[in-house]
Every structure is written in C-alpha cells, then in structure tokens.
Structure 1
Amino acid sequence: MKKYFILLLFISSVGQLFSQQVQFKVLNRLSQQPIAAVNIYKGAEWITVSNKEGQFIVNLDSISENYILKAIGYQNLSVQLSSTSGERVFYLSTLVEALSEVQIRSTNIPTGLQNISSSISVIRAAEFRRTDATNILESLNNVPGIYINQGALNTNKINIRGIGARSQYSTNRIQAYYDGIPLSTAEGELTLDDFDQEAVERVEIIKGPTSSVYGAGLGGSINLYSKTSIKAETSAKLGSQFGSYNTQKHVLQASNSTENSSIFATFSSLESDGYRENGNYDRKSALVNGAISTSDKGKLSYIANFTQLKAFIPSSLNKNDYLNNPESASFTWKQAQGFESYDRGLLGGSYTHSLSDNFTNTTSIFISFRDAYEPRPFDILKEESVSAGIRTKFNLATQLFKLPSEISFGAQYYNEWYETGTFKNLYKDFPGQGSVLGDRLSNNEQDRNYSNFFAQINLDLTEKWSLEVGANLNTTKYSLTDLFSSDQINQSGNYSFETIFSPRIGSSYEIVRGKNIYASISQGFSTPTVSETLTPDGQINTSLKPEIGTNFEVGFKGNWLDNNLYIELSVYSIQIDNLLVAQRIAEDQYIGMNAGKTNHNGIEFLTNYNFQLSKSILVKPYLNAAFNFFEFDQFINDDKDFSGNKLPGVPKYTMNVGVDLKTFNGFEFFANFRNVGELPLNDANSEFTDSYNLLNFKASYSFKIYKSFELNLYGGVNNALDEQYAASVVTNAVAFGSQAPRYYYPGNPRNYYGGLQLSYGF
C-alpha cells in the first residue's frame, strides 16, 4: 500500500511540473469594467466561467492551446493560453453597446447620450453591418429625422428635419466632420459618398441648428470617427463583394496598435455598371489615420484621405419614363455621356495636451483639395479648390457658483480658395463621342473665409438636474474675381455678412434612475452661396440675408429592463426666417432672394431592445419613426402665394422596423423594413410621389479557418419586394418646351450581393 501511495504522489508531483493554475481577467473593451459570467471553452468542451471580478483560473502547461471566451452580449474571442502566457488580461467587444452608455464626442463637452439636452443619433459598427456597404448614407437613412435622396451612388442629398430638402442635386446647410476635420465646403456643400464605412467606427448626428457648436449649420452636423484601438494588436483584413449590375467592391485593411501608438490604413475600390443607362461608377479611396502618445500629457492624432472618382450621371426622368422605362437615362445626359470626376484629398492633425489635471487643449490643423471635371449637356464645368484651417478648443473642469461644472471655449478659422470655369459642350457636333470641350464661357476665382468663436458651460445644478449654455460668434466673408472679359460683364467684388450670434440653452433632468427628460432652445444659420448672391447683370446682391432658424425641442430618454430596452421621444419646432429661393425675374433669368418663412414641426421616436433568445442567440429588434409637419408659413414666389403649403422634398413620415440576430457560433441575420410616406414635388403641392415600402435582408457567417485566421461569408437582397419607387427627386423641376418636368430618380429594383472577408489578428 505504501508503494502505491508513493507512486501516486510521484505522478502528482510530475503533473505539477508541467501544469499549473493560471489566473486571467476579462474586461469590457470600451468601459474597461470586469465582465462576469464569461464562459471559457476548449474546443467544444466547457472549462470554467469568470467571477464578478472578471477573473477565471485554468490549469495550463507550457504548450499554447486554443480557447474561446464567450459571454452574452459580447463577440466571441479566440485566444491562445499557456502557463507562460504574457497577457493576463483580455478584452471583449460588445455586440450591441447600450445607447445610454455611449459617450458623445461631437459636442464641445463630451457627455453621456442620456444626459445631453438635445437629440443626437449614433450609428455604430453593429448598424453598419446591416447594409451592403456600398454607400455609407444607407446607414444614415435608418435614423429618425433624416431622409436621404439617393439618385445614384454619386447623387445623394441629405436633409435633416426638412432642412436641405430644397437643394437640387447635392447636400447643403449641413456641417460634417471627420475626426474633427471639416468636410463641408466654405459654402456648406457636402459630399459624404467618398468615405467608405469600412474605415468608420461610428457616426454621431446632431439634429437641428448646431451653430452654437459648429457655426453655419442650419440643418445640423454629421460627425464621422475613424477606427481606434485600446489594446496592443496587429491585424489585417481582405474583403471582396460582388452584386447585381456588375457591382464589385474590394477592401484591404491593416492596423497596428501598441501601448503608445496606433495606425490604421484602408484602401477600397468600388465599381458598378449601375441599374440605369449611363450609370457606370468607379471610385478608389485610401485612408490612413492613427495616434501617437508624445508624453503622459500629450497625444497627437492624424488623418490622411485621398479619393479618385469617375461616375456617369443618368440624371432625372419625367413621370412617364419613370413608370415605363426606369432603367433609361435622360436623353440629353445620355447623348452627352455626362459624368463627374475628381481627385480629392484631406490631411489633418490634432494635438491634445493636458495643461493640468482638469484643464486640456485640443488644436487641429487641416488642409484639403479638390480638382473636378464635370461634362453636362448645357456646359462643361471645371473646378479647383484648396482649403485650410485651424481649430482650437479648451476644456476646464471646475466649480462655478459652488456647483460642479465644465467650461469649453475656443475658435476656428477656415479659408477656401476656389476657381471655377465653364466651357461649351460640343457633343451635338460630334455624335456618339460624348462630351467635347469647346470655348470658355466663364472663369471666376473666389476667396471664402469664416471665423467662429464659441463657448459652452455645463452646470450640475443637482445630482439629477444639469444645465447647458452655449453660444457662437460667426463672421463670413468672400471675394469674387471675374477673369473672363469676353462677355463684357464684370462680377468682381467683395462681400461680407453681418456678424451672427447664435445662442443655445438646454437642460436635462433625471426623473428616476435611467430616465431623463430634456428641453432646449437653439439657433442656427446658413449664409447664401456666391451663385445665389449674383444678379443676371453680374452684380452682387448685397441685400441678401442669411437664413436664420430657431429650434424648440423637448424630449425623453429612458432605459428599462437592466438597460436592455432603450426609448427616445422628441418633439420639436423649427422656425426658419429669410428663406432663400430662386426668384424668376425674366425668361430663364433668376435671382436669389429672401422670400419666406417655414415651420418645421415634427415628432421622432426610437426604441431598441436586446434580449437573449437562448444561451447562444442574441436578438435585437428595433423601431424608429419620424412624423413631419413641415409647411411654408409665409412664402410668395413669382407672384404666387404658397403660404400654408407643405414643404417639397420631404416625406410625410418615415418608419424603420427591423431585427438583428447573432449567435455564438458566428451566424448573423439582419432584416429591415422601411415605409416612406408620400412626398410633395413642388411648392404648389400639385404633384406628389407615392408612398413605398422597402424590405432588405442580409445574413453572414464567421468562423476560424486556421489559428488566427477568420473567414466571414455573407449575402443579402435589397428591395426584396421589388417595389418601384422614387429614390430621389428634383423639387420644383422645370419643363423645357413640350417635355414634362423631370422630377424622378428611380430606385433600384430587387438586387442581390454576396462577399467574403478574411481577417488575421496577431
């Protein structure tokens, strides 16, 4: 018996030489908080579970073996563990981050979404995965209060709460930033199509006048943020997608993060023949961003983006062609083979420095350029622009009136040099050859600049009651130099607008834990563009005034069921004075003028719910809706009184209903149903689009193929009901000769896509 006991003791001792208990810890990647109830698997075998401190212990030897960490609401993580493992802490990424836990970065003072006294929507990586990823704007279309006119991959208009709806072919009166670097031109024109969602981590959208933060932004602001990492890792991803209309997308990504630095690089190529004639599209884009910790108190971040685009334009159709021949292009655009092409670049850097424990400064400098060529049936447009600017912001945490408070103040200066010229298009003289450059028709240089000075104070009046007060001071100037003398018209001149003061005040109150009510009043403005200020005789109309909008809003934000159910409700009223319109003064001659007032009254609702259907299935249903009551208060144009009519270009309502489903074994499923109400096409409300329904599906499956290699296969269908609908419209389209007005851009019929992504992490 004694011999057996000695033998057993020897075997046990030998096992201890080669195996030992090792303790690990699991943290939430964003919050850095411990995660309890993380299940640890070795292959298909369950091993143990983490405690409330996020800790777990595993018997390991010196040979690395593969383990999988699984937790409800988090993405699975494959790791290699051994008794000599250097890493003792692991980070899990949430499948769906609770909205109430999101820290908003786009305000002057970062604040939790639930405590902000305004309506801000957040689009995260989980929402991006719902779409085919060919256009980042499709994800924005799922936000209440936002409506995207998508005429083609390169023909998009964004309107927020009805502002921007009267724009003909592009987005204006909305500010946009990428990591704090301005994307809108000095006149407020905006193109977000250049940015691939593969390079974006999240989007924050402030709805309604935001001039107290960003200056001229009557409709709001859209803030894009690049991908970042909080742990040391190196990864690469290669993806290809194929779809209807010979659509192909290829993406290559690489990143490296250390304790003190990070760099992310993305290259994407998107090509498509398009559903319609003359609809070919080709875009190449590259983006590099990163950050370097220069010291314990300083951090430098940087971004560089370059886009090359050539996209043909099918243009809009009249009602007969829209209904009976929607795949056709407009006759003249087809004959001219009209397109737009440009090279566009953006370079910026920001340095954040802690001047003390409670006082920080962030200063950003940026420069961008655009070189564009656009043949159109009526002329050929050439554009060149270079923009540069600087923005600095100070944040101080202190006591004010013996109350906890935060103060933010700073300034921004932006200058844009812009040269434009038009030429005759001789496509009629060269049948079948498309556009041919002819004699010059115009040549102008513009120098545009503006300055913003801003400040904001956040006060905690009590533990549950907070107050926000902010203001912005803006000056806008431009000069115009007419370099074309053949027409005997000299449009040269200088122009400046009066200094505009834009205040904001808001308050949030937590009525019970996790449930807040808020109210705010804010003001915004948009200045006229250069083309709107020019008269037919070449003079500058100095009597034009900026559009001014005042926003009144009340709302509710609340959590239920342990933060799994989130609801937002907002009711707002925006009154816009000095509405800018194109006033006809003679045949084919127009002049910009302040001609009216509009009322933008609306209700927005959002809810999402996360629940565990089983031990391995997470389900997220969601519903959002916007009900719009937008109308002209006072509006007389060309001796016609449109007062009381509905604002054209905005649907009566929008509603999105959907469900996201994810399993622990890597399967995901997304379904979205969108209902869009009828939409007025002109100021007289004599024509309307029909309401329509869209149903989209997508499924994907991710799995390990070898150690650190992961493969994701996916596929989907857009417009599964094969609905015929107007994806975009031209408001107040004009009939030429005997032709009917061309209001409509047809939406794509049912179409399919599929792809794969190969990822490698080490």
Structure 2
Amino acid sequence: MLFIVHIIGISAYAQEFEGKVLDANTGKPLENVEVKDLISGKTSITNSEGKFEFEKIEFPLEIEFKKIGYLLLIKSFQERVQLRNIFLQREFSQLSEVIVRGSNIPQTIREIPASVGLISENDLERSDNFNLVQNFNYVPGVFVSQGALNTNKINIRGIGARSQYSTNRIKAYINGIPLTTTEGEVTLDDFDPEYLDRIEIFKGPVSSVFGAGLGGSINLYTKQNQKKQKSVSANYSYGSFNTRKTRANLSFVKDSLDVSLNYNQVQSNGYRQNGEYDRISFLGSAGLINKSGNYWTFFFSYTNLKAFIPSSLNENDFRNDPEKAAFTWNKAAGYESYDKNILGISYEHKFSTRLKNTTSVFYNSRDGYEPRPFNILDEVRRSLGARTRFNFQTEVFGKPSELSFGAETMLEFYETSTYENLYEQAEERRSVQGDRLSFNEQDRNYVNAFAQINSELTSKLLLEAGLNFNSTRYVLEDRFNTDNLNQSGDYRFNAVISPRLGLSYEAFAGRNFYASASHGFSTPTVAETLTPEGLINTDLKTETGWNYESGFKGNWLNNKLYTELNLYSIQIRNMLVARRVGQDQFVGVNAGKADHNGIEFSSAYQTRIFPDLNLKFFLNSNFNYFEFDRFVDLGENYSGNTLPGIPHYMVSPGTEIIFRSLSLNINYQAFGRMALNDANSGYTDPYQLLNLRLDYSWKLSAKADLHFNLGCNNVLDERYASSIVTNAIGFGGSAPRYYYPGNPRNFFGGIRLDLNL
C-alpha cells in the first residue's frame, strides 16, 4: 500500500514538460538552445524544430533558456501546460541577422545596402538612465552635442551640426508615428530609455524612404511583451548634482491584448548655475490582434517640462569657472517649459499572404514658453497627419521580389509670439514679460509619396530601388503689422524627387559587400525663415544632398564576431547655415556647398568562457573629412575649411563581463577636436571619457526580482566641451561664448523591483 501511494505521489508531481523555442523577430525555430531547470539542474537541448522536453520533472519550474547571440531568458512555470512557444530576443548589437523594422521592406541588417546603427535594450543600460540621447554617441557617424539634459542636438554624418540649439534635418519615429515637425525639428530627450526595446538609426540622405530628412532617420520602438503576464516594475535612481529619477511601469498581456503603461519623473539641480531640471512623462502603448489576425497598435505620450538654461561660456570661464551660467541667462533666470502630447493609432491588415497594408493616424501638440535674455518666446504647435503603406510580395523576371508603396502627409499649425524681456528692471533674478514684438501664424503641410522595390537578381545579389516625391508649402499670417510691412502670404518650396539605388552581394556565406546612391533634402525651419524682427526670408531654398556609399558587412568565427565597414561621400548643395545677427540670435542663409566624406567601422564579439561567464567586446569608430566645397558669406571666403561643430574622429572600445547575476560594463570614448567657427580660427581640445556601470540581479522568488546598479561617468574627470555654439561672436567687447562644459566625474546608482502578478 505504501509503495502504491508513493508511486501515485511521484506521478502527481513528476510530469512531462515540453515546448518550442523561436526567434522573437523571425518566428523561426532555434536549434541548440540550452534549456536548464535551475531547481533540479536537468538540461535539455532544442532540436532542429526548436523543440525541447523534460521527463519526470517536478513543478514549479524555473527554466533558463540560453543561446549564444540571444539574450538570456528565465521563466517560471507553476504547472504543466500544453506545448508552448518561447521567444528569445537576439542580442542584435552583436549579430547581423536582426530584422530592421524601420525600412519600408523589412530586411536583415546584413542585406540592407546602407549603414544602419542599432541600439539594443542592453545597450541602453551601459550608463545611467537619466538621458536617452547620450547613448547615440556610441554609434559610428552619430554625434550628440550635450549642453544640458534639455539642450541636446544630434547630427548624423555632420548634417545637423550647424543647428544652434536643436536637432533638425533628421526624421524620427516611435512605433512608426512621426515625431519630427513639418519644419524638420525633433526632440528625443523626453523619452524614457527604459521604456524602449530598440533604436534604429539610418545614416545619411534617405529621403526615398522617410521624406524630408537630409541627415537620416531615427526609429524608436517600445517593448513588446512576448509572454502572458501581469507585471509591475518600480525603480528609483539617484546621481550627482542631486539628480533623481522615479519610474513605474505596468504591463498586462492576456490572449491577444498587450498593454504597457509608464510613468517617470527626472529632476536635477544641474552641474551649473541656472541648471535646474524637472520633467514628468506618461507613456502608454497597446497592441491587439483581432479574430482575423490583423493587428491594432496604440501609442500616447505626455510630457511636462521646465528646464532652466545656463547657456554657453567664453573660454576663460569654461576653463576656470565651468559651473557658472552665462551672466545674462542667469540674471534673467532663462528657461524653457512646455506641455507636449503625442497620440497615434496604427492598423495592419493582411489582405492575403502576399498583400498587407499598414495605416497610421497621429496627432502631436506642443505648448511652449521660453524666457530668453533678448526676448520671451511664446509658441503653440499642433499637427495632424496620416501614413499608409502597402507591401506586396511578387516576382520580377521570375525572381522573388517585394514592392512597397504609400504616402505620408502632415498638416501643422504653428503660432508664435515674442515679447520684450524686462529682466534688467527686476530686483530679483527673473524674467519679466513686456510689450509684444512679433505675432505670426505659420501653417505648414507636406505630402510624401513613396515607392520601393527589393528584388533578388540572383541567389546572392539583391537590388533595392526607391523613389520619393515631396511637396511642402506654408501659409504665413503676419498679425503684428505695426511697421506697415505685412509678410502674410502663401509660400511653397519647389517639389523634390528623391531616388535611391542599392545593391548587396553575398560574396561569401554570411559576408556581404554593398554599394548605394541616395538623395536627400531638408526644408528650412521656421527659425531660419523668420528674422528676429518677425520678417520672413522668402529667398531660402531647400537644402539637398547626394550620398554615395559602399561597404562590407560580415560574420566571422562561427557568428561570434560581426564587423561592418562603411565609406561614404555626401555632397550638400544650397547649404543652410546660421548667420549670427545678435546675442543668441541667428538667421538662415543658403551659403554654398559642402562635402562630407567619412569612414565608419563597427565590430562586436561575444563568447562564453565558462558556463557562467560571458564576455562581450565592441569597437566603434569613425573618421570625418567634412569641408566647405564652396562657401562665401558676407565677403569672407571659407572654401576648403573644415565644418565646425563636429569631432574629427570618434573611437569607442568597450566590454561587458557577465558572471551569473553580475555584469560589468566598461565603456571608453575618445573624440577629436572641433573647429569653433567657419574661419577655423580656433578648435576645442580632443577629449576622452571612461564610464563604468555594475549591475546585480537578485531573484527573491519565482515572481519577484530585485536589480541594483552603480556606476561612474567620466571616471578620468576630463574637462571638455560637450557642445559648442558655432560662430559665436562677442558683443560690447566681451569674448565669444563658444563652450558648453561637460559634466565632471559623477556617480549614479539605482534599484528596481520587478513583480510578476
């Protein structure tokens, strides 16, 4: 009797358990995945169909899924379930087979005849979690000038570097929803890096796909939950300069519904005077698969920001008193504040196995107020738009091909007023709004129509061809006509056609050579079309450029090593430059031609030394040769000079050491000098940064995990200019204020609790 009872007891707890492991991007089965029960120590290896199984195993289970090139996954199972799918995410900073989602026709990164920088969720955890765009500096060909948490400007291959205080000439999307305004400006500082799954950066003129984006395109993607769960995550981070971040995230996945909500607040006193920062953000995303297998997605974001502005310093203050703010900005307590909303809904409909359509509608708004020493800017921006894309799989001359075509349009309403700033009359340090100086309404709209075809000319040779048509117009209403000069009118930029042609050839297994030629353009911004007096410059032309590129992408050492080499030449015409007309005041002018020539190299290697010890190494670098081809401004000839505001080189090696639940990131960056002005009369010093971060994960139970991180930025305490104001001019006998000081050595740490409900 006791024997029978014992056998019955074993059968109740010792059961079979099986499943299938798939690639999260492609859905293909994964072979040779090590599947280990952490409680009993039993191990199973997946077969060619991705299947694994355990016999006579007791529940609950704590299963670890491990495969080189994929992120480690640990899942808990309380009871036996039917054969289920387990999805592993690629460590795509390492491997070349990740599917790039931002292009009209998704392809693996190795097959795309273009340079695409990828930032994974793991990459976003290399340093602190306070600022998203600081992570872009590890991508070859991308440089972020960081004046403060809210003063960042991004340039790609030197395009956008001449913007004074913002990022322009770059298209940006989040989950396919445009973030760039109709005039070409974008702000990415608002987004919580911990809410994102990956970032794809298309470099150089790619207007055949994205429209008005001479510098390229940045595509953000939020996390998508692959398993059924209800989870809550909460964390708190603290760093130098009294910098704090509070964050909470709720995820709910059931059947065909996937919902994620995020709250985060970042506050800081700042390293410099007048550097206080306070930002609150709410983000949410949802996905729903209907009964027909079609997919709805929803995204919203709300941001409230108030950030004071210390502004730039002259060389003496930069070297001897970098913590101070510019005198006038400190006296006026200058700052920027805004409320911003982003809302988008997308629907993917499959008409058949060969034809599908993705359509999105979106709405953006921004209500901003910015007191500056020279005036106070009050602006409201609202935009509404839609994008639709069809993808059709077919054959061309008997070869597998895919055709994509569609259109994108946006209508934007922009209202701006400027007022006198009477801060000098105030006894305390603050701005005081005076009389109105200007009042304008500018309504812009654009239409992009695009088409692209990818075709396998042979089993090894791939062709990509694309075409984009853009029409942009704006209507200006001058509502402040005290000078009897009415600038109201209907203005239109010339229509632009942007072609692209690329070839990718797999010379050896897993190793591709490619070549491409693509066209790009960017229309002038509102700030460039309007003079400080509120008058419009109707003579500005669209800035255009051609990008010629060739390169190599390949895997080595059993796919443990991935290398990429890119050589490019971009010729810019009708180059838009900022001409200084007053203190912190600029107007745009078309001033000539520029040649952007460069070399980029990236590599990543990972290996497992012992079962519990993994090593990852990367080396990213670029060398730039950016010069004015022909540039004459106000009688001065700058032809042949180096473009200012761009480091001559960037070299960034790094390593990640993972031992069980402990990981250490060591990241080094070296940047070359930057020219301060068009005349090349001065340069910044080269500088180097060393950043460290240590992470530890502690599994409290089957449903609770605790994570700790501790780190240090700028370990070497380097004194450097993290951003410069190109072509600064001193007024009233004062020295020009070129420099934004970078932060000195600073520390950070955080704790996060994850609960599976």
TM (norm. structure 2) is: 0.96
Task: Show the counterpart of 1:133.
Answer: 129
Which of the numbers 539, 542, 548 marks the counterpart of 2:544?
Answer: 548
Q: 1:299 aligns with which of 277, 291, 295?
A: 295
Match for residue 752 of structure 2? Answer: 757
Q: Report the equivalent of 1:329.
A: 325
Query: Which of 11, 14, 25 is the aligned partner of 2:19?
Result: 25
Q: Secondary structure at the match of 2:558?
A: coil
1:238 aligns with 2:234: yes
CA contact 1:26–1:92 (8 Å) conserved in 2: no
Does the alignment pair 1:466 with 2:462? yes
Alpha-carbon spacing, 1:51–1:12, altered in 2? closer, same or farther (3 Å): farther
Bigger-Rg structure (1/2) = 1
Residue 719 of structure 2 aligns to a residue whose secondary structure is coil
Contact 2:172 2:219 in 1 (8 A): yes
1:715 alignment counterpart: 710
CA contact (8 A) 1:522 1:551 kept: yes
1:329-360, Cα deviation, whole Å (9 max, x unpaired): 00000000000000000001111101122011
CA deviations 1:416-447 (Å, max 9, x no partner) are 00000011111111121401111111111110
Say if 1:431 and 1:388 are closer, same or farther in 2 by CA, change over 3 A: same
User: Within 5 Å, which residues of 2 pair with 1:143-162?
Assistant: 143-162=139-158
Aligned to 1:3: none
The yes-or-no answer on 1:80 pairing with 2:77 is: yes
Letter in 2 for 1:376: R
Secondary structure in 1 matching 2:486: coil
| Structure 2 residue identity aligned to 1:751 | N
Indicate yes or no: 2:514 matched with 1:511.
Answer: no
Report 1:332-731 matches (<5 A): 332-534=328-530, 540-582=536-578, 592-663=588-659, 665-731=660-726
SS at match of 1:741: coil
Partner residue in 2 for 1:4: none
Q: Distance in 1 between matches of 2:578 and 2:546?
A: 23
Conserved? CA contact 1:177–1:223, under 8 Å? yes
The 1:600–1:430 alpha-carbon spacing in structure 2 relative to 1, beyond 3 Å, is same
Check 1:28–1:584 CA distance in 2 against 1; reply closer, same or farther (3 A cut).
closer
Asked whether the 8 Å contact 1:507–1:518 carries over to 2, the reply is yes
Contact residue 437 and residue 533 of structure 2 kept, 8 A: no
Q: Give the residue type in structure 2 aligned to 1:176.
A: A
1:232 positional shift: 1.8
- Shifted more, 8-17 versus 369-378: the winner is 8-17
Tell me what 1:735 maps to: 730
CA distance in 2, matches of 1:342, 1:305: 13
Q: CA deviation at 1:717?
A: 0.1
After superposing the two structures, state which structure 1 stretch, 573-582 or 646-655, moved more. 573-582
The residue matched to 1:723 in structure 2 has which SS?
Answer: coil
State whether residues 479 and 495 of structure 1, in contact with CA within 8 Å, keep that contact through their aligned partners in structure 2: yes
Aligned partner (choices 200, 203, 207) of residue 203 of structure 2: 207
Q: Which moved more, 1:481-490 or 1:367-376?
A: 481-490
CA 1:713–1:121: 2 relative to 1, 3 Å: same
* Paired letter, 2:438: S
Find the aligned partners of 1:589 and 1:303 in 2 and give their Cα distance: 36
Q: CA deviation at 1:612?
A: 0.6
Query: Do the aligned partners of 1:39 and 1:46 also contact (CA within 8 Å) in 2?
Result: no
- CA change 1:586–1:336 in 2 (3 A) is closer
Aligned-partner Cα distance in 2 for 1:530–1:87: 58
- Match of 2:744, as an amino acid? P
Residues 287-334 of structure 1: CA distance to partner in whole angstroms, max 9, x if unpaired? 111111123242111101000000000000000000000000000000
* Worse-matched range after superposition: 593-602 or 743-752: 593-602
Percent identity of paired positions between Structure 1 and Structure 2: 47
- Do the aligned partners of 2:20 and 2:83 also contact (CA within 8 Å) in 1? no
Distance between the aligned counterparts of 1:51 and 1:204, measured in 2? 31
Counterpart contact for 1:459–1:467, Cα < 8 Å: yes
Cα distance, 1:573 vs structure 2: 0.1
Supply the distance in 1 between the matched residues of 2:621 and 2:551 (Cα, whole angstroms). Answer: 14
Instruction: Return the alpha-carbon distance in structure 2 between the equivalents of residues 579 and 88 of structure 1.
Output: 56
Amino acid at match of 1:281: Y
Does the CA-based 8 Å contact 1:569-1:604 persist in structure 2? yes
Q: Please list the CA deviations of residues 118-172 of structure 1 after superposition, one character each: whole Å capped at 9, or x if unmatched.
A: 0111111110111201111011111000000000000001010000111111111
Residues 361-392 of structure 1 deviation map (CA, whole Å, 9 limit, x = unaligned) = 11110011100010111111100011000111
CA distance in 2, matches of 1:281, 1:584: 28
Do the aligned partners of 1:276 and 1:326 also contact (CA within 8 Å) in 2? yes
- Residue 41 of structure 2 corresponds to which residue in structure 1? 46
- Name the SS for the 2:700 alignment partner: strand
Higher alpha-carbon deviation: 69-78 or 162-171: 69-78
The 8 Å contact of residues 228 and 255 in structure 2, kept in 1 or not, is answered as yes
Cα separation, partners in 2 of 1:118 and 1:643, compared to 1, 3 Å: same
Shift of 1:601: 0.2
TM superposition score normalised by structure 1:
0.95
SS, match of residue 323 in structure 1:
helix
What is the CA-CA distance between 1:92 and the residue it aligns to?
4.3
**Secondary structure of the residue that 1:101 maps to in structure 2?**
coil
Helix, strand or coil at the partner of 1:131: coil
Spell out the pairing of 1:90-129 with structure 2 (5 A cutoff).
90-94=86-90, 98-129=94-125
Shift of 1:100: 1.1
**Deviation at residue 196 of structure 1 after TM alignment:** 0.9
Contact between 1:101 and 1:113, CA under 8 Å: does it hold in 2? yes
SS at match of 1:679: coil
Secondary structure, counterpart of 1:503 in structure 2: strand
